[in-house]
Amino acid sequence: MATMIDQPSSQPAPVPAALADWTEMPDSLSPVLGRYFERSWSHGRGHRLYDTGGRAYLDFACGIATTVLGHAHPAVTRAIHEQADRLVHISNGMGYVEPVSRLAAELAAVLPDPLDTVFFANSGTEAIEGAVKLARRVTGRPGIICFSGGFHGRTLGSVALTTSSINYRTGYEPLLPGVHVAPFPNVYRDWGGDAEAAVSGSLAALDRVLAEVIPPSAVAALVIEPIQGEGGFNPAPEGYLRGLRERADRHGILLIADEVQCGYGRTGRMWAFEGAAIVPDVVCLAKAIANGLPLGAIVSRRELHDRWGKGAHGTTFGGNPVACAAGLAVLETIRTEGLVSNAGERGVQLREGLERLVAADEGIGDVRGPGLMIGVEFVRDRATREPDGERADRVIARCADMGLLLLTCGTGHQVVRWIPPLNVAADEIDEGLGIFQRALEGG
Ligand X SMILES: Cc1ncc(COP(=O)(O)O)c(C=O)c1O
Which residues between 52 and 91 bind ligand X (CB under 6 A)?
64
Q: Of 50 and 233, which CB lies nearer to ligand X in the complex structure? A: 233
User: Quick one: which of 51, 190, 258, 428 contacts ligand X (CB under 6 A)?
Assistant: 258
Closest CA to 275 of 67, 112, 441: 112
Q: How far is the CB of 64 from ligand X (least distance, A)?
A: 6
Among 118-126, 241-249, 347-355, 411-419, which window interacts with ligand X (CB under 6 A)? 118-126
Distance CA 189, CA 411 (A): 11
Q: Which is nearer to ligand X, 42 or 66 (CB)?
A: 66
Asked if residue 286 binds ligand X (CB under 6 A), the reply is yes
Interaction pattern, residues 137-156, with ligand X; x per rule: CB under 6 A: --------------xxx---
Closest to ligand X by CB, 132 vs 424, is 132
Give, as one character, the DSSP assignment of residue 148.
T
Handedness of CA 244, 245, 248, 249 (dihedral sign): negative
* Contacting residues for 142 by C-beta, under 8 A, at least 6 apart: 136, 177, 178, 218, 220
Nearer to ligand X, 229 or 243 (CB): 229
Residues contacting ligand X: total by CB under 6 A: 15
Using only the alpha carbons of the chain, give its radius of gyration: 21
DSSP string, 156-187: HHHHHT--S-GGGTTT--S--TTEEEEPP--H
Cα–Cα distance between 188 and 192 in angstroms, integer?
5
Candidate residues 125, 139, 163, 342; the one interacting with ligand X per rule CB under 6 A: 125
For residue 254, what are the contacts with CB-CB under 8 A and spacing of at least 6?
A: 134, 135, 138, 139, 220, 221, 222, 248, 281, 282, 304
| Residue whose CB is nearest to ligand X in the complex, by number | 124
Shortest gap between Cβ of 126 and ligand X (angstroms)? 7
Long-range contact list for 140-143, CB < 8 A, 24+ apart?
A: 141/217, 141/218, 141/219, 141/220, 142/177, 142/178, 142/218, 142/220, 143/178, 143/179, 143/180, 143/214, 143/218, 143/219, 143/220
How many Å from the N-terminal Cα to the C-terminal Cα in the chain? 33
Q: How far is the CB of 181 from ligand X (least distance, A)?
A: 16
Pick 216 or 296: Cβ nearer ligand X: 296
Q: Which is nearer to ligand X, 153 or 365 (CB)?
A: 153
Q: Per-residue x/- marks for ligand X, 197-236, CB under 6 A?
A: ----------------------------x---xx------
Stretch that binds ligand X, among 117-125, 195-203, 370-378, 414-422 (CB under 6 A): 117-125
CB of 409 to ligand X, least distance (A): 9
| HSE-CB for 176 with a 13 A CA cutoff | 22
269 or 398: CB nearest ligand X: 269
Query: Is the Cβ–Cβ distance between 68 and 288 less than 8 Å?
Result: yes
Judged by beta carbon, residue 148 or residue 261, the one nearer ligand X is 261
In angstroms, what is the minimal distance from the CB of 294 to ligand X?
A: 8
**Distance from chain centroid for Cα 258:** 8
The dihedral built from the CA positions of residue 228, 267, 236 and 262, taken in this order, carries a sign that is: positive
* Range in contact with ligand X (rule: CB under 6 A) among 121-129, 320-328, 378-386, 420-428: 121-129
What's the rounded Cα separation, in Å, for the pair 442 and 223?
40
Binds ligand X (CB under 6 A): choice among 123, 234, 291, 408: 123
For residues 50 and 418, which CB has a smaller minimum distance to ligand X in the complex? 418
Which CB sits closer to ligand X, 157 or 243? 157
Contact 149, 232 (CB under 8 A): yes
Which residues would be at the binding site for ligand X (CB under 6 A)?
64, 123-125, 128, 151-153, 225, 229-230, 258, 260-261, 286
